[in-house]
A and B are shown apart, each in its own frame.
Chain A
């Protein structure tokens, strides 16, 4: 009996032992459950696809990449614990988290351990804290908003704006950045409507925006809320152009909102329909593997995987400090590192810049109206 028990335990232990061939460990910490699951899953799948391709192409410096996955449950406290766990397990670089309130906490832990981190968050505060180990995979809203506001004022001739925003760290960051631009371009804010995270009923908010006499509604909500807002706006036939950031017109939003998304427009850092061959090819591979259209979060995750490979090979070793140093002030071109899909630069704070797009949703697809230069 005892021998049998020991034998079984040995087999169980042998089966549960981690594979030993992988040497480069990457920690993927994202929102796989909770309110951030839609964005987090996209980001995670992008990272996964990226590293599978990296491994297929010979890994990093000849070593295979082992991807360790953690679920932050969209809870800042859990996200901190997960980053701690990843560091304990000896990761080289961390990818995630997507929600800003989680990133603000866990980047402190990664910073103390000196581990570079690629975040999908867009709140301006993240790169303004002087953390030398944090790098964005999409620009913060303080970079995106000037582009949108300029387009609204100069191309669309908008004067009065109703703004609907999420009262969270994410939403407030964007709201602040937009209001600054509104002052510069002289927009009159005729309605200012804050909303809750995970709000389900937007009828009052839509009505307020509709009756405000605005020329356009600026919508800054996270994906699922954006979809609900768009559906309600269609129901009440709002009759105003709805403009937003990536989160208003992402693939996930279009999927959830259906034809209510048609006509919504906005600025995106990355889009599956950008018409750039490298992006289209990546999207096709992603669709074949996961059976859904990737949104900007997936592309963020994918490019961070390739950035890690290319930068590590530039410095020639898996040295975290050298990696972080190299990233500052770096421009990575699609020619030297095809996986980043577009030419990208990072400044001294870890903030990134590259070309972006102004798109409108037509027939359930994003159509690029204009390519906006990097700023």
Chain B
């Protein structure tokens, strides 16, 4: 990392640490939900932004994570084990969902994943004996760590922050590893990647598996945060919301999903003072952004930067942007 970027990341982390101090419960709750959606969006960014595989099932994977954690913690098992189980379950199911992606691409793949999300929703709702059906599951405990309770909102925020930083670290590592470069090659030109000896098959499956595992962690955090889950919290509309986060923030950029999640979760709250108009203003802002900058907010920032400082060598790998 270049020193400037290292400094900025340091400032960012410090800001996240002080952000909730002195705030009301509501702001802390919203910040926590921003962090956990960032984790899920980071996963989708890996699948979509880096590996170029369209997935409309991310909320479904959050659901799997949330239900596994809820059922295990309600049975008295510690959150840590439940979270590991959630992440592993999502990894495995993500691996399986990757198989159709070997055959179909782009919008066909979107339909396949969409069907998967809907199927999952129906299973969650109809298997009432296990999942509680449309009544959902209520009262998941917030975890304790060596006597440190996360029951209060502020403590829970810091707990979420730790998970978020760990997830971001793992994501950073994946992207810097040969895997990360292989994912990008898969997105940019799969045929050439294969000709260079990359195993496209394995890479496609892994793109789904890793992306889903992040959603599993997000789900494992959502259970104790909201302390209530029901199937419709993981419906298709929420998958689209996650897709919006990735695209608005900037697909294929490391910080894109965090920014996108901030826009999708926090901006409607900021605009709420406009009362009945806030959804309209919000929608218009998103449309304008997408028209002017398909690379999302980060892409827009880069465009402005290049415009102010011409002569810079622009990043070439993402010139086309992510193709849906």
- The residues of A with any CB-CB pair to B shorter than 8 Å are 16, 32-33, 71, 75-77, 80-82, 84-85, 87-89, 101, 104-105, 108, 125, 167-169, 171-172, 197
Contact = CB atoms under 8 A, between A and B. Distances in A.
Contacts of A169: 134-136, 230
A101 B133 CA distance: 12
Nearest to A101: B230
Interface string B103-130: 0000000000000000000000100000
A108 B228 CA distance: 10
Given A85-B24, A88-B24, A172-B134, A108 B232 contact: no
B29 A76 contact: no
B279 A77 contact: no
A167 B233 contact: no
Interface string B16-29: 00000000111101
Contacts of B293: none
Contact of B226 (A33, A77, A172): A77
Contacts of B136: 76, 101, 104, 169
Contacts of B25: 84-85, 87-88
19 contacts: A16-B273, A32-B276, A33-B279, A76-B233, A77-B226, A77-B233, A80-B29, A81-B30, A87-B25, A88-B26, A101-B136, A104-B135, A104-B136, A104-B228, A125-B135, A167-B125, A169-B134, A171-B134, A197-B232
A85 B31 CA distance: 13
A90 to B, nearest CB: 10
Nearest to A170: B134
A105 B134 contact: no
Interface residues of B, number: 25
A44 to B, nearest CB: 12
Given A81-B29, A87-B25, A76 B134 contact: no
A36 to B, nearest CB: 12
Interface string B220-238: 0000001110101100000
Nearest to B275: A69
Contact of A172 (B135, B153, B227, B228): B135
Interface of B: 24-27, 29-30, 33, 125, 133-136, 138-139, 153, 226-228, 230, 232-233, 272-273, 276, 279
Contact of A85 (B26, B135, B226, B232): B26
A77 B33 CA distance: 9
B138 A104 contact: yes
Contacts of B134: 101, 167-169, 171-172
B273 to A, nearest CB: 8
B232 A101 contact: yes
A81 B230 contact: no
A84 B28 CA distance: 10
Contacts of A108: 138-139, 227-228
Given A105-B138, A167-B125, 14 more contacts: A32-B276, A75-B233, A76-B230, A76-B233, A84-B29, A89-B24, A101-B134, A104-B138, A108-B139, A125-B135, A169-B134, A169-B135, A169-B230, A172-B135
Nearest to B126: A167
A211 to B, nearest CB: 24
A76 B138 contact: no
Contacts of A71: 272
B221 to A, nearest CB: 13
A80 B125 contact: no
B135 A80 contact: no
Nearest to A77: B226
Contacts of B138: 104-105, 108
A89 B30 CA distance: 15
Contacts of A167: 125, 134
A321 B26 CA distance: 22
Contacts of A89: 24
Give 9 nearest A-B pairs by CB, closest first. A88-B24, A85-B26, A105-B228, A84-B26, A84-B25, A88-B26, A168-B134, A169-B134, A84-B29
A343 to B, nearest CB: 33
Nearest to B235: A197
B123 to A, nearest CB: 13
A33 B138 CA distance: 24
Contacts of B29: 80-81, 84
Nearest to B227: A108
Contact of A76 (B153, B228, B273, B276): B228
Given A85-B26, A108-B139, A172 B33 contact: no
Nearest to B132: A169
Contacts of A172: 133-135
